[in-house]
Structure formats: structure tokens, C-alpha cells
Amino acid sequence: MATIEITSENFEEVVRNNPLVLLDFWAEWCGPCRSFGPVFERASDAHPDAVFGKIDTEAQPELAAQFGVRSIPMLVVFRDQIGVFGQPGALPAPALEDLITQVKGLDMDEIRRKIAARKAGEA
């Protein structure tokens, strides 16, 4: 599956309607972003069960601000509408593959329990 463009208009729908979403925050002028782009694209082809979205920080500053993007490229991963990873930096292909495998293997029921317990503790 090819990467798709994510905007403020389609962000919520994409995250809500897909069990695994990887988001690459990037900009045209960013050298590391240009080198990470093909790695991200190849991973999208290898994982048709996931959505790989690209967010141009120049065109979508509100999304970049929402995620506190200060350095690009930045990768954000959602599993079952829960943000489970966020980190700046261009990952090499083996590291990206390892991350995808780890995210697919997460026990989301356990993560939801931890989130609920944390929220209960804050109340």
C-alpha cells in the first residue's frame, strides 16, 4: 500500500478507522526526511495491513503543533486509536521493521487497562 497524505481534514477519520497507523511528519527542505521517505514507502508496501501517512509540517502546522513536533522527521504510531510511539529521527529500515513488529505484538487490552488505571489515579 502506498503512503497517503494526512491533513487536518482526514486525520481523525484515518486514525479512527484503521487499527494500525504510522505517521511520518516531514518537510520538503529536510534532508533526513528525504532519506527516510523511501524507507517509509518500502515499509508501506511490505505492510498492507497498516496505513502509512505522511504529514507535511509546512502545509499542516496545526497537526505538527498538536503533536509537539520540534524535529523532523518524526514518526508517530497509533494502534487501535491509541498513540503507542512517537519519536523524532530517521529510522533505518531494520529498525522501522522491528518497531512495526513490536507494535503489532502489543497487548492492547493491557495497554487499555494501564490507561484506565492512570486516569482513575488522576481523578
Within 10 angstroms of residue 81's Cβ, the number of other Cβ atoms is 13
Active-site residue 30, yes or no? yes
Catalytic member of 21, 33, 72, 90 = 33
Helices (H), 47-84: 61-66
Active site residue 22: no
For residues 37 and 119, give the distance between their C-alpha atoms in angstroms, rounded to a whole number. 36
Catalytic position from the list 21, 23, 30, 69 = 30
Return the SS3 of 86: strand
> Catalytic residue positions?
30, 33
